[in-house]
Structure 1
Amino acid sequence: MHLSSFLFVSLAAVSKCSPVQTRQNTFTHPGIFVSKPQLDFVKSKLTSKAEPWTSAYKAMDSVTWAKTTWAPKPIATVRCEDPGTPEYQLEAGCKDERYDALAAYSMALRWALTGDAQFSKKAISIFDAWSGVLKGHLSTSAPEQVGLQSGWVGTTWARAAEIIRYTNAGWSASSIAAFSTMLRDIYLPQTNLSSVMLEATQGIAIFLDDSTTYSTVMARFKQHVPSYIYLEKDGAYPVIPAWSNYKTEARVKTLWQDDVSYFEGRTQESCRDLEHASYGIESISHMMETARIQGEDLYGTEMGTRLEKALEVHAPYGDGGSAPSWFCKGTLKLTLNSATEPAYNALVTRLGKSMPNTKKYTEAKRPAKPNSLFTAWETLTHAQNTA
């Protein structure tokens, strides 16, 4: 499970430590992770049966929650517990909620790319099922699981709902209002730490047309990226953001798995395991892609450089196992997953950078497989997408 070790800090606290300029202009819709031009680009590739998009779309047929036969399982209180505790046997609705959100996103993409109303109707039925039932989340063994679950599900809900709402899919105003209330009152108060929780906050803010929250979360995001991906210019140890209570080198060391072999492109979680590092990289690339759609291209800034370095240094060892001694003492746990497609497209296809390691890894993993948390169909949406 992904959780940055930084202390839980509210978004309101961020605005106290760095000036936040409230966004004045309106949002681009649909504009969470994928835009209408991007969707139109993919649709044209599917029409001409081009690769890798055709195979990526076909891959949906092998996943149960990407089919219209999927039935949502909403419950009033979702309970997510630590698998290593006795309370885990009391867990309820945790996986169902995540899969239902991923199902809704899959249906939204299918609708946008085919125009087949069976997909939009299924997505809307999933939205309505949850907004009519859900009251909240809890965890007695690991309170941080509430934030994580809200992040994983919130980012997927917002992404899916954004597509359905702004593609003339027939979603009624009353149902949109109920779903908006669910996002605002149940998810948004919990999504305020790092990575996927920041991503969820960004997406929900766009869906709700909440400029103040968007501006605040982007200020926090711009502090998060330098504290999560190391560059040699940072000095003897990684950047400490103003909002963090980890103010000493010793305290920062604990965040970085007690391994001080800081190298260009290493993430805070690389030496924990590659899977968690991939979650962090994914969320950063997702937020940068959304920001680009909304008019702020961060790929050409130092943040983009950090993302580029992280991908290039991890890609040769993405399948885990042995690594050079300087890389987390030569042993890497788990794998990087299919975490590279959106950033690779932005940095190489759009900006023309040379990223040979990432190129090899990305092309070998196509079509990128979905995970069970918040990532799905990224070869379909972002491979070589010039829109």
Structure 2
Amino acid sequence: MAHAQSFVHPGIDQSAKDLAYLKQLIARKQEPWKSAYDKLVKDTDTTFAVHAHAHVLRGPYAKPNIGGDDLSQSATVAYNCALLWYLTKDRNYAHTAIRILDGWSDTLWDFDYNDAKLLAGWTGHAFCNAAEILRYTDAGWSQKGVDRFTHMLMTVYYPLLRYYFPTANGNWDGAICHSLLAIAIFTDNRPLFNDAVDHLLHGPVNGSIFKYIYPNGQCEESGRDQGHVQLGLDEFAGAAQVAFTQGVDLFSIGDNRIGRGYEYTTGYLLGHTPYCYCEISPRAMHLGGGFEYVYRHYAALGIRLPFVARAADSMRAKVPQRTLTAVRAAFAHAASPIRTLVNDSTAYIAGADKDVPDIPADAIQVQPGQSVQQALDRAAGTGRWVVLAKGVHPLDTALKLPSGVTLSGMGTGSVLFLKPEAGRDAIVNATDDLHDITLRNFVVEGALQPHPGNDPNSSRSFNNKGNRGGVLFRSAAVNRMHGLHFMNLTVRNCTYNGVFISGARDLTFSGCDLNENGAAVVPGPKLQHNLLLTHCSSILVRDSRLDGSPNGSGIYLQSCEQVSVTDNELARNALNGISVSESAGITITGNLIEGNDQSGVHAEYLYTGNRKMTVSGNRIHFNGGYGIESYGTDNISIQNNLLSGNGIFTGTIDNKDQLKVADTKKIVLR
């Protein structure tokens, strides 16, 4: 096993100072801790019967469930007993916790079925918290018992969890990271600890804090149900609590991203409906038990989370362990909350629901089921509007857009859907010289069905088995197409590019929401993106959201000139936030660029390289590669960017990998 410097012990949910301070609060009969302590004593049975299993089997939604409940109950009781042992010095509690840990350590061989990793993630950190307290408080746990428990962690739990599971919904990796951090601390394994923190910061697909919680606080599972959202938030916050015990602050990153996720979700649970980029789910609206620590942590930082505070107040009496383990000695003299979190304003709100227009009197209205193509042909060259009424507008073949028209919808309720058997691209140019068109305020849906369902992860384009494109405008000559305007358009879930334009000038993208486009269909991964522009000039991309490409970038510019990318959100893409190749006159300013698997901004060299590029005033943080990466760019200006948390975590959040600008004309092979 690889070891580095040791950790603070005990040091998972709480340190020795925290536990000692908790004991003082109870001795002083201070509330709510005295009542929580009394309830925990009342609820904890030292005669708990241990039913350990060699093979623990848990399928989806606990079908089948052989040993799963026994394991979960054992982990909870062990932690409760270890905590009460510390607080009371009653050895009955210590003996019960030891009996549970020894029973499972002697018996458990493996996990199996659908929820194997999830169950291990749920239970590993609770077991480790119990073990950590017992080991460092003279509880009478034998060295043989410690060794057997360590053996179970490293031969049963660790091999199952070490590869994470980011393609599942994000609550899985939250739980996995939570337990891996706890295992790392108990076994004094610093490389494992750093790897788990790095995954929390930079994990792919749904694996990181930034993949799970969006800048406005919406969560990856907000469209699924609020029970799973609370589970995901609870596990990510639990992992952050463990990291904080060891001096790594994951609560403040991303402008208090964990707090934003909690306040967004809790507000909805308490009756306030926030804006959601999907249809926020009304399922499982009950409050969970994971509010106490988050409330107290942010309050100690002087940050008010009013909805979270209300939820913590209402749940406190029901979750005594959570109330007790939320105590930090450092919170004893914390400042009173003086500020609240506000929504990030960058590209918020973007997409079809933004600024839904008043419809001109001479507009041609198209009801679902009527021919959109006939209406466009009728309006061609006149400047008239064709308006998609709310509902699904199925297409039997690609829509051929003529010049001189505006195609508008009435918000996200207006959905243009190319039938899967009808070809690849939903909208194409009718002529090689397409000009003076506007697309606005409707949705191009690239999933295999117009209503993808209530689990957003199942409809993501990496799960889409079709070859599906959004908007494709191509010309055979530079600048032949012109005057192409995209306003408040949503294009999502396409396996091919969301929008691909080649050979045009005078392009604007304003307030658009291009997300989850660009998977691994032919011609292959990393070649499809949310927005791909080639051989284009005079381009403005502003106030738009270009997120979540499963294999591509938010924006890819190739052989383009005079481009302004301003005030956009470019996040959670598998490649880069912005990729620039063989282009000139590129200005990238005022953007939020975060959580991309590779670099935030990547200017690559292929043959002649890029020329005259300005990157200024952007927030570029927590991307897996460099914040800004450039090779062989002629005349690049980089100034006043906020760079933080980019690159692999090796013990500090702001490492050397924030910026790489090389004069070398180097082709990056990846």
- TM-score normalised by the shorter chain: which range applies? 0.7 to 0.9
> What does residue 288 of structure 2 align with?
337
Quick check: 1:52–1:383 contact (8 Å CA) kept in 2? no
> What does residue 499 of structure 2 align with?
none
- Mark the CA change 1:324 to 1:166 in structure 2 (over 3 Å): closer, same or farther: same
> What does residue 293 of structure 1 align with?
245
Quick check: 1:368–1:377 contact (8 Å CA) kept in 2? no
> What does residue 166 of structure 1 align with?
136
Partners of 2:246 and 2:273 in 1: CA distance: 40
Structure 1 residues 309-338: Cα deviation after superposition (integer angstroms, max 9, x where no partner): 11222222335xx65373464652112402
Secondary structure of 1:203's aligned partner:
helix
Partners of 2:280 and 2:121 in 1: CA distance: 32
Secondary structure of 1:78's aligned partner:
strand
- Match status 1:80 vs 2:71: no
CA shift for structure 1 position 153: 1.4
Quick check: 2:267–2:273 contact (8 Å CA) kept in 1? no
Q: How does 1:69-148 map to 2 (within 5 A)?
A: 69-83=47-61, 88=64, 91-139=65-113, 142=114, 145-148=115-118
> What does residue 34 of structure 1 align with?
14
Partners of 1:104 and 1:114 in 2: CA distance: 15
Q: CA RMSD in A?
A: 2.1
CA shift for structure 1 position 58: 2.0
Secondary structure of 1:299's aligned partner:
coil
> What does residue 306 of structure 2 align with?
356
- Mark the CA change 1:184 to 1:132 in structure 2 (over 3 Å): closer, same or farther: same
CA shift for structure 1 position 23: 8.3
Letter in 1 for 2:118: L
Partners of 1:288 and 1:34 in 2: CA distance: 12
Partners of 1:229 and 1:79 in 2: CA distance: 30
Secondary structure of 1:367's aligned partner:
helix
1:152 corresponds to which of 122, 145, 159: 122
> What does residue 429 of structure 2 align with?
none
Letter in 2 for 1:102: T
Structure 1 residues 13-52: Cα deviation after superposition (integer angstroms, max 9, x where no partner): xxxxxxxxx9843211111111111111111111111110
Quick check: 1:104–1:126 contact (8 Å CA) kept in 2? yes
Partners of 1:125 and 1:154 in 2: CA distance: 17
Letter in 2 for 1:316: G
Partners of 1:301 and 1:127 in 2: CA distance: 35
Q: How does 1:44-83 map to 2 (within 5 A)?
A: 44-61=24-41, 63=43, 66-83=44-61
- Mark the CA change 1:84 to 1:131 in structure 2 (over 3 Å): closer, same or farther: closer
Partners of 1:325 and 1:168 in 2: CA distance: 50
> What does residue 185 of structure 1 align with?
155
> What does residue 372 of structure 1 align with?
none
- Match status 1:312 vs 2:263: yes
- Match status 1:202 vs 2:181: yes
Task: Answer 1 or 2: which has greater helix percent.
Answer: 1
Structure 1 residues 168-224: Cα deviation after superposition (integer angstroms, max 9, x where no partner): 111111110011000110011112231101111111011111111111111111120
Q: How does 1:231-270 map to 2 (within 5 A)?
A: 231=215, 264-270=216-222
Letter in 2 for 1:79: L
Structure 1 residues 229-276: Cα deviation after superposition (integer angstroms, max 9, x where no partner): 000xxxxxxxxxxxxxxxxxxxxxxxxxxxxxxxx1011112211111
Partners of 2:60 and 2:305 in 1: CA distance: 38
Quick check: 1:316–1:361 contact (8 Å CA) kept in 2? no
- Match status 1:225 vs 2:209: yes
Task: Answer 1 or 2: which has greater strand percent.
Answer: 2
Q: Which structure exhibits the higher relative contact order, with contacts defined as CA atoms closer than 8 Å and separated by 6 or more residues?
A: 1
Structure 1 residues 139-171: Cα deviation after superposition (integer angstroms, max 9, x where no partner): 2xx2xx111111111121111111111111111
Q: How does 1:367-382 map to 2 (within 5 A)?
A: 367-369=317-319, 377-382=321-326
Partners of 2:246 and 2:303 in 1: CA distance: 23
Letter in 1 for 2:321: W
Quick check: 2:266–2:311 contact (8 Å CA) kept in 1? yes
CA shift for structure 1 position 298: 2.7
Quick check: 2:21–2:328 contact (8 Å CA) kept in 1? no
Letter in 2 for 1:77: H
Partners of 1:182 and 1:119 in 2: CA distance: 22
Structure 1 residues 264-304: Cα deviation after superposition (integer angstroms, max 9, x where no partner): 101111221111111111112112121111122232332x6
- Mark the CA change 1:163 to 1:84 in structure 2 (over 3 Å): closer, same or farther: closer
Quick check: 1:23–1:214 contact (8 Å CA) kept in 2? no
> What does residue 227 of structure 2 align with?
275
Partners of 2:61 and 2:250 in 1: CA distance: 37
- Mark the CA change 1:384 to 1:27 in structure 2 (over 3 Å): closer, same or farther: closer
TM-score by length of 1: 0.76
TM-score by length of 2: 0.45
Gaps of 5+ in 2: 166-172, 203-207, 333-670
